A and B are shown apart, each in its own frame.
Chain A
Amino acid sequence: MTRSVEPSAPPTADPHEEEPNGARATTTVGEPRARVRAIGLNVFYGEKQALFGIDLAIPPNQVTALIGPSGCGKSTFLRCVNRMNDVIPTCRTTGRIELDGADLNSPSIDVVQLRAEVGMVFQRPNPFPKSIYDNVAYGPRIHGLAETRAELDDIVMGSLERAGLLKEVEDRLTEPGTSLSGGQQQRLCIARAIAVKPRVILMDEPCSALDPIATARIEELIDELRESYTIIMVTHSMQQAARISQRTAFFHLGRIIEEGETEQIFTDPHEERTQDYITGRFG
């Protein structure tokens, strides 16, 4: 199949680098390699501006945590990466956001293809009212990733395996996805997202509707997945951000106050507001 969003990053051990390098690279020498890059990104909902000149580089194969108080623009930023903001009629975006150097807001980008490259996991598990198998097979089917039933089986089983769910559901693949527990449903949604072989997975507070045990299970999974995917995760839990992310960006009132290595942000923040937020003094 043809992919309209071509990667132009230097070759790595990344499993998605089988496509030839594109010539559209905008990354200049000296800048760190970024899978997703925002340059002066503004987002408006009608008259209200939600994001102000966001500059952020998200390196591949790492977990980047977006933290900040409610309404600070974290989720808005997340939804720019797969253009889910298009669903909101009043939403308008200016500035630039890139996936491997390709401008995501350019008219040549096919949103359908983009969303196959950038998967998303939502706050509340949202399996379709279909069987477990059909939930995972949904993406591969609409994108025509499998020609035969055997290929589709491979994709579905592989995705369930990677999401750490296969053992639990092996003998009940025809049961509805909604019959699973909350944590299992969320892992099903992760399996559903990775079944279309995305490069980036966006997670919008993926554990906020789950109990601590299910949360631990998902965190473990996220840590494993970063070997193959680039993960951007919105979270309200400082501990979670500290535990599983390599980089952290602190959003406040639609601006990035500080971003960098997670360890540095949590142990030695440069900004006082970051310090205040992570120690729970505001937000």
Chain B
Amino acid sequence: MFLLAALSLAGMTVLAFHVGRRRALSKAGGRWGSLRSLPTQYGYFVALWTALPASIAALAWGTLGQRALPWAAENGLDARIPGLVLLLSTACAGLAWAAAKVEPSFPARESTERIIRILLFLSSGVAILTTIGIVLSLLFEALRFFALVSPVEFFTGLSWSPQTSLRSDQVGSSGAFGAVPVFTGTLLITLVAMSVSIPIGLLAAIYLGEYASPRVRSVVKPLLEILAGVPTVVYGFFAALSVAPMIRRFGESVGLDVSSESALAAGLVMGVMIIPFISSLSDDAIAAVPRAMRDGSLALGATRSETVKKVLLPAALPGIVGAILMAVSRAIGETMIVVMAAGLAARLTANPLSAVTTVTAQIVTLLIGDQEFDSAKTLAAFALGLTLLVLTLGINLIALETVRRFREQYE
């Protein structure tokens, strides 16, 4: 039925295009010069007026039309028939209305372009509206959480054990919702990841941009970018099954106590995941420094490395800082690797060898399984999510602002 509706609408749109075009031609009596727009533009105008209102009507029926279902069932009708009728009649009405407007003096091109502009505007609005929707839904759930647990406890409490009882006589009925250990876990893993990815990514960018021969560059750069396409869950396996045991064995051999899930393992692998991010963006920033700067420095007798250190890096610094900040917000929001390799123990520690938990890993565990969305336990996930969102949005804003300033410099 859906297929039939889509096909018939497509057919009607094609038909409408020809109707509009033919009509314009016949009204013009074969003399194009008397038309204000090209014949095809009349065709597009009629086609758009046929397809768009009908699509909107179909969407409206899809979301609101279910209310008519019981009534249709009572009267022994197929509920889908009225929908199809509505679609086709709207399409016909649109076609007839638009075709009637086709006159040689009618500005079809301008009208079509206005419709297209509105469509483009709506498309750009979708992402923004979705973001607002996400923030609002998080906000309302988080507010419900803060009605149960005070924000002071959430933001300053040092103990996290989000277990609440179903019945009041159960043991451990009062959970602890101090989010500080969770956020320090995120911070610790992000720090480890950044201390891997910033130096390696930056050095790789410098090598690729300034030293690598075109042949090496043409091989290495795509390889690095493939690294960015590896699914994070695969990095998760790698962290949990290869890196974590390796670190543990290494730790044991030098007499250190390493837990089998450690912040170090998760952070290292996350760092590797972020390398292409930093190297690619920094490479762009360095490449954006004008050729004249390099030449000016080299012509003064500076070596390549002096040129990189004293001219290129300072000039590209805002872009590099932007790249790093975006990578940080990525690391903070990363979920799969930490779920698989960092552990779940909310521990307030700065020791990267111990297991820690992160905001994202906690959100996942809080919401997995059969849960009622009215206990403080599940609602805590939304409070965590909201805080995380505000944090990464803030970092991204700073990053975009730094990159914007950088762009102005050479224009």
Contacts and interface: CB of A to CB of B under 8 A. Distances in A.
Contact of B213 (A89, A112, A178, A189): A89
Interface in B276-328: 290, 292-303, 306, 310-311, 314-315
A111 B300 CA distance: 10
Given A89-B213, A122-B296, A129 B301 contact: no
A126 B302 contact: no
Interface in A88-107: 89
Contacts of B214: 89
Contacts of A128: 293, 296-297, 311, 315
Given A128-B315, A129-B409, A196 B299 contact: no
Contacts of A142: 300-303, 306, 310
Interface residues of B, number: 21
Contacts of A16: none
B206 to A, nearest CB: 17
B409 to A, nearest CB: 6
A63 interface: no
A124 B293 CA distance: 11
What interface size band does chain A fall in? 20 to 34
Given A115-B300, A116-B301, A192-B300, A124 B314 contact: no
Interface string A106-130: 0000011111100110101011111
A130 B301 CA distance: 18
A87 B301 contact: no
B295 A196 contact: no
A82 interface: yes
Contact of B301 (A113, A124, A126, A127): A113
B301 A143 contact: yes
A182 interface: no
Interface of B: 213-214, 290, 292-303, 306, 310-311, 314-315, 409
Report, nearest first, the 3 A-B pairs whose CB atoms are least far apart.
Answer: A115-B301, A126-B292, A120-B299
12 contacts: A87-B295, A115-B301, A119-B300, A120-B299, A120-B300, A122-B292, A128-B293, A130-B314, A138-B302, A139-B300, A143-B301, A189-B296
Interface of A: 82, 84, 87, 89, 111-116, 119-120, 122, 124, 126-130, 138-139, 142-143, 178, 189, 192-193, 196
